[in-house]
Amino acid sequence: MEIIEILREASDRIYENVKHLAGTDHAAGDFGIGAGGDVSRNIDIVAEKTVLDYLKEINFECIVLGEECGRVDLSENPKGYVIMDAIDGSANAVRGVPFFCSSLAFATEDKLSSITDGVITNLDNGDTYWASKNKGSFFNDVKIQVHNKDPIYKIIGINTSGASKELMRRMDAIFENHNHHTRHFGANALEMAFFARGYMDIFIDLRDKIRIQDIAAGYLIVKEAGGLLLDANLKPLDADLSYETRVSFIAASNQEILNEIMSHINEC
């Protein structure tokens, strides 16, 4: 079985197991602080267990790096890492806001740049975004590309959750500009998938807060859809897979929109 098929099957199983949970009291149950540093909710635990059970069932030899469960070695001879955010957008999922997803990626080394496969599943409806290295990005079975025409409305995705005053001040000019329709939906991985599908012209997260689990699958899906994916210094995004690592990134559909938006971000 191809790795992408394994990740897709695991994602489908998450959807089946959590689709009736969102917004219920049962979703919210508190399981203490997870490996990623946030409170693990019952819906997170159900989703992670689904993946772990499936990988064990098929004897997939790997190391799992889960946002809640931490590192789980499923073999002494692992083929690589499964980077798992079983529920991205947990706050939305617990409240029942229909914007949350799973994010599963496979990396051969301890580096984002070694990711070969990624799957993001919209857990509100089961839609799947997926990519394998050098094979393109797909929405269900349709190939997707970032938006490359001159947009009628410029949609600028910006993650502002918990952003510092200083960062908000640096981005003032973006918010003030009437041609920029800014958006923030609350599940970074699904926002990266939406960007890859052409729903946004640029998606920015400069908070230095995002974990590897939240962006691993999106990393490949954005790149395979033809997006530019850069760090805060406008260098190609890369990072190790450690639990301490936090990144900032900019996903842009082309150099022109990147230049335009960066010209509105002050250094200060």
Binding region for ligand IPD (CB under 6 A)? 38, 67, 85, 88-90, 159, 161, 186-188, 209-210, 214
Q: Could you tell me which residues come within 8 angstroms of residue 154 by beta carbon, excluding any fewer than 6 positions away?
A: 179, 180, 181, 201, 257
Q: Is 191 in the site for Ca ion (CB under 5 A)?
A: no
Q: Does 124 bind Ca ion (CB under 5 A)?
A: no
> Coil, helix or strand for 188?
helix
Chosen from Ca ion, ligand IPD, none, partner binding at 187 (C-beta under 5 to 8 Å by type): ligand IPD
| CB nearer to Ca ion: pick between 67 and 260 | 67
Q: What is the DSSP string of 71-123?
A: EEE--SS---EEEEEEEESHHHHHHT-S--EEEEEEESSSBGGGEEEEEEEET
Binding mask 86-105 for Ca ion (x = CB under 5 A): -x--x---------------
Distance in Å, CB of 111 to ligand IPD, minimum = 21
Task: Closer to ligand IPD by CB, 92 or 128: give it.
Answer: 92
Q: What's the closest the beta carbon of residue 60 comes to ligand IPD, in angstroms?
A: 23
| C-beta contacts of 253-258 below 8 A and 24+ residues apart | 253/146, 253/147, 253/148, 253/195, 253/198, 253/201, 253/202, 253/226, 253/227, 253/228, 254/146, 254/148, 254/228, 255/228, 257/154, 257/201, 257/202, 258/202, 258/228, 258/230, 258/234
Q: Which amino acid is at 200?
A: M
Smallest gap from residue 66 Cβ to Ca ion (A):
9
Q: Does 85 bind Ca ion (CB under 5 A)?
A: yes
The reply to whether 48 sits near Ca ion by the rule CB under 5 A is: no
The binder of Ca ion chosen from 22, 48, 67, 80 (CB under 5 A): 67
Q: Which of Ca ion, ligand IPD, none does residue 201 bind to, with CB < 5 to 8 Å depending on kind?
A: none
Q: How far is the CB of 212 from ligand IPD (least distance, A)?
A: 11
Tell me if 224 contacts Ca ion by CB under 5 A.
Answer: no
d(CA 63, CA 262): 38
Tell me, what DSSP letter sits at residue 142?
E
Find, among 56, 3, 48, 46, the residue nearest to 24 by Cα: 46
CB of 96 to ligand IPD, least distance (A): 14
Nearer to ligand IPD, 157 or 198 (CB): 157
Q: Residue 48 binds which entry of ligand IPD, Ca ion, none, with Cβ cut-offs from 5 to 8 Å by kind?
A: none
Joined tokens for residue 10 = 């695991």
- Cβ distance to ligand IPD smaller for residue 245 or 259: 245
Question: How many residues sit in the footprint of Ca ion (CB under 5 A)?
Answer: 4
Q: Give the length of the chain.
A: 268
Q: Which chain residues interact with Ca ion by CB under 5 A?
A: 67, 85, 87, 90
